[in-house]
Structure formats: C-alpha cells, structure tokens
Chains A and B, each alone.
Chain A
Amino acid sequence: MRKLGSVGVVAVAGSLLTLAIGAWTRQPPALAGATITGKVKFTGTKPVMPKIDMSEEPKCKAKYTAAPPTEETVVVNPNGTLANVFVYVKSGLPASYKAPAPSGPVTLDQDGCRYHPHAFGIMVGQNLAIKNSDGILHNIKAKGTKNRPFNISQPTTMTSTRTFSAPEVMVPLECNVHGWMHAWLGVLPHPFYGVSGADGSFSITGLPPGTYTVEAWHEKYGTQTATVTVSGSETKTADFSFAGK
C-alpha cells in the first residue's frame, strides 16, 4: 500500500501540477473573428436541489464547511441566471471547415466528490485529463453512444487521459461509487462553444463570418436554438431563457 500512499501522492501531485501549469500556459490566444455572447436567464420557480449525504466519505464531507453540498442538476445564480448551460454552434460552418484539436487537455477534476466543471466542452481528438483530487475511490464512466463508452477506476490521487473520436452533445459522465456525481461533456469538431458561468453569461469567440444555428443545452430543461449572423470581428448577442417547471 505504500505505493498507493505517500509515494503515489507525491508523484501524482507533481505530475498534476505540471499538467495544470501546462494546461494553463497553453490556453490558445483569443482568435480573430466574430463573437457570440449572451446570458441564460432563468424564470419561474427555482427547484430545491436535494442535499447530498456524504457521511460515507468524510474526506469529501470535510470540504463543505459553509453549507452542506447539494446536487447540481439546476444551478440558479444569485442574479437569476442559469449556470451550466452548454451553448454551441450546431450548424452553419462551411463543410470544409477544419480545426485541429488543441494540444492542451481539458481537465475534469473530481474534488469534494463533485465534478468540476459540471458541464463543459471538448474537441474531437483533444485530451480529457480526468483528475482525482480526492484521493478516494472514484470510477469515471462515460456513457457516450456515438463515442465508445468507458469506465475506469481511480482509487487514488491520479490522472487518466482519454479522447473522444466523434461529435456528441452530450456525453454523460458519472461515478457509480457516488451516485450523485454527474457531469456532461459536449464533444465537437470545432472550438465554437461555451458554458454559462456564475453570472449566467457565455461567449463563443473566433467565428468566421456566417449564419449560425446556436443551441443552448441544459441537462434538465432541454435545448433552445437561436439563429445568429456575424461578420468580421463584430460581437452579436444571443440570450436564452429557461423556465423552471
């Protein structure tokens, strides 16, 4: 068990740090082109998210000192916007459009027995670095249907890397040890996607001129689309609004 203990922790912490710095420094510069930005509003009754009982995992439970953790199916921001909405260009790019996958990975962190981020995008062929910061047993299962599904075990602090070969919106990710852990991954052949954040805004940059169908996807409230025409380096706004049921 020594290997899984101190030696492993040190080795993995080191490699994670390297990875993290690598990912951070390798962020591509803002591309020239048009931008689509907007906010995702939320109307109606905000659903009450169930509290998560983490008593089986004291290490995770200890990370929530302010308030007990809740499920993240619907996260309504203080300004009345909806977080974790995946917004992406669904169609409108020329058939000849080709974008190479960035060399840096997208990192999914398992921290406090929750996924960070909860909804996110990746390009076909780009590395997904699946990181276990908790150091307790997680399994990460990707349940794609256009991509091959996989299920790998991470019983210690470690990082596993996988790629996705086909566009798919969305690939559900889950942990079966902790039934409340869910994340959603949008796999696209281009880099034109964003996720609504803590202020409900998103932004898609570097678009070539054209008329695009932009889709906003939410795990509970489904999808909405907007048609946006952009040219040059202009910025256009596309707001979306989801209603609580």
Chain B
Amino acid sequence: MSKNKTVVTAEPGKQELFITREFDAPRDLVYQAHTDPEILAQWLGPKDLSVEFEVFEPVSGGRWRFLNIDHDGNEYAFHGTFHEVTPTRVIQTFEFEGMPETGHVSLETMTLEDLPNGRTKLTTHAVYQSVADRDGMVEAGMESGVADGYDKLDEMLAATQNQPTL
C-alpha cells in the first residue's frame, strides 16, 4: 500500500469528477510516464489486460487510440484527441468504443503541480455529457477487475466507519 492516497470526488448529481494523487517523483518524470506510450502501457492496466497503443500522438491536436486485450482475446477500445499537451497540463477527450452508440465523450484535464522535495501532485478533472454518463463511469469501476481483494476493501470500509471520506 502506498502512503499516497488516491482521492476520487464525485458529488451527487454532477457531471464531473476529480481524481487527485501525489507522487514521490519530480514532475518531469510523472509527465514522461503519461506521454511515453511504452512507459504508459506498463502501468495503465487493468492488471489482467494488456495495453496496445494503435496511435499515440502526445502533442496539441494529436490523436490517441488504445486497446485493452484480455486472456481470451477480447478487445476493449478507447480513443480521443489531445487538445493541449504541456508539462503542467494535458487536456484530452476520452471515449469508450464499447458503448451502444457513439458520442459519450468526456473531457479530461490533467494538471501536474510541483511539490516541495521533488514530489508532484496530479489532479484529473473529468467532465461528462450527463450525470448518467458520469455515474456510469463511476459504476463501471465495480465491474472492471475489482472483484479480487475484497479483504482489502473490507479493511478500508472498517477504517471509513471511523473516519469516512466525503
């Protein structure tokens, strides 16, 4: 377990969510890990799926498309375009191609901030086209490879009863 806590803020009834996390690494390395497809493929996951980038152009106006492939060869594709790519901010669109119809696009703004002692704060703000789209994305987390390790979740729940996270 990392001492750096990942915090997701998804307020009820809103079309947006925030994901924040700090890293014990300088900003240029965190940026590199997000913009070099070989490095990105090492951690993007999920754990049991391989990642293949078909296109990855991390420049303003560039495109990206990647596939998650499971053991049975099933492919899950995602694509989008980079609106702005700088060492302190990456803005991109994101769409899962497995939806019944196209157009469920979200706009993601990732901000990289320098912290003292060579650390970095990463904040992702994602805006969806509807509350239902946002909630669908949050609820998808329940099905995507999170079935194992419920003992860990139980521990977290035990902890949250003393000090719940809002």
Do A and B make up one complex?
no
Residues of chain A touching chain B, judged by Cβ–Cβ distance below 8 Å, are none
